[in-house]
Amino acid sequence: MATANLSKGEILAALSGVLLFLFMFLPWYGNAGEAFSGSGSFNAWQSLSFIDLLLFVVCVIAVAFTLLRPSGVFSGLPWSPAAVVAVAGSVAVVLIVFRIVAAPVDEVVGFEINVGRRIGIFLALLAAGGIAFGGYTAMSETATPARRSRPRTPGT
């Protein structure tokens, strides 16, 4: 499939979806006293009970809607695929911010009270923001060609 049919926002959303999936395998939490050791670190799959599945669904939405949109599969939907991707990315941002603020201390065995956040959760937040921004940008990119096609009247 040629990427010439994809907008910059769609490409950003799809790449961010792939990155979010990869960042879910990096350490998200660990003992705050062991900031530089790899032992005692937990990734999203190990430390989240249900949110990790929701984040995975967001990754699938971002990639699938972007790759399948040019084929016209989603032409019957009441919403544009870009709007669905933007909302899914926004939900992912909210879920990750929630887990930055409220670490899953009770859900991960072996944690002490002082839980430290690792690089993976912050990279995942950036990727989720990329999905939301890519979807929003794709919405505005698909709306602008109609505006450009109107003939300009003199003096405006």
The 3-class SS string of 49-91 reads CCHHHHHHHHHHHHHHHHHHHHHCCCCCCCCCHHHHHHHHHHH
pLDDT (tens digit per residue) in 97-110? 998 888 776 545 55
- What is the torsional sign of CA 98, 24, 45, 65? positive
Determine the average pLDDT of the residues in 79-84.
86
Q: Which residue has the higher pLDDT, 145 or 127?
A: 127
Instruction: Give 153's pLDDT tier (boundaries 50, 70, 90).
Output: low
CB 17 within 8 A of CB 109: no
For the chain, give every domain's residue range. 7-71+78-141
Report d(CA 11, CA 67) in Å as an integer.
9
When the pLDDT of each residue in the chain is averaged and rounded to a whole number, the result is: 80
CA atoms of 46 and 28, how far apart (whole Å): 9
Question: How far is it, in rounded angstroms, from Cα 82 to Cα 54?
Answer: 18
CA distance 127 to 121: 10
d(CA 138, CA 6): 9
- pTM for this entry: 0.78
In the chain, alpha helices (H): 8-23, 44-47, 51-68, 81-101, 119-148
pLDDT at 119 over 70: yes
